[in-house]
Amino acid sequence: MSSYELITVEKLTKQLSSYEPETEITFGSSTYSKRPLIFLRFKRYAEDVLLIELYEDVETGESHRPTPEHVDRITVGEIREQLSAYRPSDKIDFGCTIDGVLLELENVTNVVSFNFKQSEPPEGRYVLTRST
């Protein structure tokens, strides 16, 4: 478990209360790899700790095509529904499955997201891939 102070279910629920249920949540990106952190699941970590697991879409070979981050976003309504199953005093921790590192929540903030789709693949052009 983390050595910093974890946010409670009550506090996160209160912070999310001003957002519409259909508002999408993005978790930013990894500090070190710079890859987007994508929601995976909620998991009971200890008797009084809820773990929100995130993952990085890492390259697995030449044919790997990463999933756009906005495709797997969870909504405020979905996270509120999950949080309602826990006690207000339960703590919330965040972790990334790729390296098992826990993530320290800095803040919850508003973000405007421009989501794009490309109508054609970049045939014959160099395609940038992410590497660490």
pLDDT value of position 132: 47
Angle, CA of 1, 83 and 35, to the nearest 5°: 60
pLDDT value of position 51: 92
pLDDT value of position 113: 76
**Tens digit of pLDDT for each residue in 41-84?**
999 989 999 999 998 876 655 655 667 777 778 999 999 999 99
Torsion 57-79-8-107 (CA) sign:
positive
Asked whether the beta carbons of 69 and 40 are under 8 A apart, the reply is no
pLDDT value of position 55: 86
Torsion 11-23-74-69 (CA) sign:
negative
Asked whether the beta carbons of 75 and 21 are under 8 A apart, the reply is yes
Domain boundaries defined on the chain? 7-103
pLDDT value of position 104: 84
Task: Please indicate whether residue 106 or residue 20 has the higher confidence score (pLDDT).
Answer: 20
**Tens digit of pLDDT for each residue in 1-33?**
456 789 999 999 999 999 999 999 988 888 877
